[in-house]
C-alpha cells in the first residue's frame, strides 16, 4: 500500500469544491461498493448509527431509511462543503464537523458505524488510530462496515504509479486524494473480531470490510 500524499488542508478545500458535483460523479463509481456494503450492514429497531465521512448524503439518506427514528442516525465530516450539501438534502439530519481521529462521542455510543471512502484518503500511520476510535465509540457487539478504494493485487496498479508521479500539491485535485488501501489487517489490529473482506470490481475497485466489537 502506497503512502497518502498531500495535506489535510488541501483535501478539505478540494472536497469543499467537490461537494457541488460529487453525487453525480464519484458517487456513481462508488455505487457498487456502497450497495454491497449496505447489504452487509445490519441495523435493528432502536439501533444508533454513526456515519463517518457523510459526504453529500448519498449513503446517509439510505441509512436514514433503516433507523427507527431519524435522531438515531448521526453523520460527521471534516469538510464544511460536504456537510452543507448533506444539510441541503436532509435539513433535519444530525450532523457535526469533526476529525475522525477524535470523535466527539462517548465510549459505547453506537450499535453500527459506517464509513465509506475515507481510509483511502488518510496517511497509513493514522488508519489504525482512526479504527481504534471507531472501536471505542461502538457498543459491544456493534458492527463496523467500511467501504474503501482498494486493489486485489500485490504489485502497484497504474493508479498508484500515476499517483506517486503527480506533484503532491495536485494529488487532492487530480486523484481526489485517494489511493488504494487494504484495511483488513488494520481492522484486526484495532481490536475488532469477525473481520471479513470482500473485493468489488464493478465501478471503482473497492473493498467491503465488516467486523464486530467484542
Which tens digit of pLDDT belongs to each residue from 175-184?
Answer: 999 999 999 9
Q: What is the 3-state secondary structure (H, E, C) of 25-59?
A: CHHHHCHHHHHHHHHHCCCCCCCCEEEECCCCCCC
| Percent of the chain scoring above 90 in pLDDT | 95
User: What predicted TM-score, i.e. pTM, was given to this entire model?
Assistant: 0.96
What percentage of the chain exceeds 70 in pLDDT? 100
Terminal alpha carbon distance of the chain: 28
Contact assessment for residue 17 and residue 83, using Cβ atoms and an 8 Å cutoff: no
Answer whether residue 156 shows pLDDT above 90: yes
What average pLDDT does the structure give for the chain? Answer: 96
> Which triple of cell numbers denotes residue 210?
465488516
Collect all residues with Cβ–Cβ distance below 8 Å to 72 and sequence separation of at least 6. Answer: 46, 47, 48, 49
Structural domains in the chain, sorted by start = 8-212 (3.40.50.150)
Cell of 187: 481492522
pLDDT for the residue numbered 27: 87
At residue 131, φ and ψ (nearest 5 deg) are -65, -35
What is the tens place of the pLDDT at every residue in 16-66?
999 999 988 888 999 999 999 999 999 998 999 999 999 999 999 999 999
Q: How many angstroms separate the Cα of 43 from the Cα of each of 114, 127, 138, 192?
A: 11, 25, 13, 18
Mean pLDDT of 134-155: 97
Answer yes or no: is pLDDT of 209 > 90.
yes
Amino acid at each position: 500500500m502506497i503512502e497518502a500524499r498531500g495535506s489535510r488542508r488541501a483535501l478539505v478545500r478540494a472536497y469543499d469544491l467537490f461537494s457541488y458535483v460529487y453525487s453525480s460523479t464519484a458517487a456513481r463509481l462508488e455505487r457498487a461498493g456502497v450497495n454491497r456494503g449496505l447489504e452487509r450492514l445490519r441495523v435493528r429497531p432502536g439501533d444508533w448509527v454513526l456515519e463517518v465521512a457523510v459526504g453529500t448524503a448519498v449513503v446517509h439518506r439510505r441509512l436514514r431509511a433503516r433507523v427507527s427514528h431519524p435522531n438515531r442516525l448521526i453523520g460527521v465530516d471534516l469538510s464544511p462543503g460536504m456537510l452543507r450539501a448533506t444539510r441541503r438534502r436532509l435539513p433535519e439530519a444530525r450532523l457535526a464537523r469533526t476529525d475522525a481521529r477524535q470523535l466527539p462521542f462517548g465510549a459505547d455510543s453506537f450499535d453500527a458505524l459506517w464509513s465509506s471512502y475515507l481510509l483511502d484518503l488518510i496517511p497509513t500511520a493514522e488508519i489504525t488510530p482512526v479504527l481504534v476510535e471507531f472501536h471505542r465509540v461502538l457498543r459491544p457487539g456493534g458492527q463496523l462496515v467500511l467501504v474503501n478504494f482498494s486493489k486485489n493485487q500485490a504489485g502497484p496498479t497504474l493508479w498508484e504509479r500515476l499517483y506517486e508521479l503527480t506533484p503532491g500539491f495536485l494529488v487532492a485535485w487530480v486523484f481526489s486524494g485517494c489511493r488504494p488501501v487494504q484495511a483488513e489487517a488494520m481492522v484486526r489490529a484495532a481490536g475488532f473480531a469477525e473481520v471479513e473482506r470482500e473485493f468489488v470490481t464493478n465501478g471503482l475497485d473497492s473493498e467491503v470490510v465488516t467486523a464486530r466489537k467484542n
